[in-house]
Chains A and B, each alone.
Chain A
Amino acid sequence: MMIRKLTVQMESAFKVASVRGTRVFLIACFFAALAAEAQAQRILGTNVTARLIQAKEEGPEKVDPALADIESKLKSVFKYKQYEQLSNQQGSVSAGSTLKFRFPDNLVLECTFLGGAHGQLELALRWTRRVPKERPIEYFNMRKMLKQGESLVLGGPPSNGGVLLLAVTAQ
């Protein structure tokens, strides 16, 4: 008799739980919609452009026409007289994966897209120079949050009487 009573009580409890379950389910659906909206704001992949530039202090003023779109930016920050684009490479990368750009003179840029949301992208960049039979020289190993349309210029390594600049943008 006790077991039967217990069973009936259990049945009743199940009904209460079922009603509660329905409410929880509806609330969960509401939050799922919000989560879907948040998910829509996330950036799952990006196009990265990397341009290797050589800048020199000496000589007449001369800017490579290929750099016309970033000339004003470069001149607003640096006062070199000559800018020459040595290489221009592009690639698309998805969140969590790495893109490797190989430039002349054994220069390599590894670009890992760590993810992004709300118009900002997080990149991990590693710029190295491979030297035969030696350990590669690591110029930079960094993590940077890039806003939409923001340019990043890495520079400083000397080369052929000037310096190397590496302009990186992610769209």
Chain B
Amino acid sequence: MNRERQDIDRCEPFRSRLGAWLDRELPAGEQREMDSHLSACPGCRKVAEEYRTMAGWVRRSRGLESVVPPVEVFWQRLWSSLPERKKGWGFLRQTLQQWARQPRYQLALAGAIVLVILATVFLSDRRAAVEVPSGDATVAVDYEPMVESIETGVPGASVMVYHSEKENLTVVWLFTENTSGGSLPTPSERHI
């Protein structure tokens, strides 16, 4: 019983990496280490064979409804690696380095970065697109001068806006109580 327990403890680190070994995704050193262990351990070799056989079934069937989401694989791998590593920054760095070596994580990270950039650019551009009137339709109307907001702090004053498409000119005029009588500024009568 004790001997069996020792075997399990000895083989467990290797068995947890069998999947990666089958896919040739381990670093060269670990791959060699796995090779030598498997050549010496009939138990692990048998398990590896079973893995290989079942992997073939899955590849043939590809029944996606029975496939577990990848995030669970991630957590399983993370938890299975916990006893082998020290916790803390060293562990985090080691785990990240291990991920960084794997193409699928590199790909996922690159994709995530691109998506974040895209989302940022498109959202900010969308904001601009909403605020920018779409040219001709707005500009064609003479009394659509595209002043988005206007206010004055002069008591009793009013504001008038005029746009001349021909001159490419917008005039914003302040009428105050002082200037609304005889001294009213007199812009051209044909325009304002």
Contacts and interface: CB of A to CB of B under 8 A. Distances in A.
A158 B153 contact: no
A4 B151 CA distance: 72
Contact of A80 (B107, B131, B186): B186
A64 B191 CA distance: 23
Contacts of A160: none
Interface stretch (A45-53, A84-92, A103-111, A142-150): A142-150
Given A77-B187, A142-B149, A149 B114 contact: no
B75 to A, nearest CB: 10
B125 A151 contact: no
A139 B58 CA distance: 76
A22 B179 contact: no
A80 B173 CA distance: 14
B12 interface: no
Given A25-B111, A141-B152, A143-B149, A11 B169 contact: no
B171 A153 contact: yes
A2 to B, nearest CB: 11
B128 interface: yes
B1 interface: no
Interface in A101-159: 115-118, 120, 122, 128, 137-147, 149-158
Interface stretch (B35-43, B63-71, B82-90, B92-100): B63-71
Contact of B139 (A4, A55, A147): A147
Which interface residue of B64, B73, B157 has the most chain A CB atoms within 10 A? B73
Interface of A: 4-14, 16-18, 21-22, 24-25, 28-29, 31-32, 35-36, 38-39, 42, 55, 57, 72-73, 76-80, 115-118, 120, 122, 128, 137-147, 149-158, 163
Given A11-B22, A11-B73, A16-B62, 20 more contacts: A10-B68, A10-B73, A11-B23, A12-B59, A13-B68, A14-B73, A28-B114, A28-B118, A29-B114, A35-B125, A77-B187, A77-B192, A138-B153, A145-B131, A146-B170, A147-B139, A150-B169, A150-B170, A152-B169, A153-B169
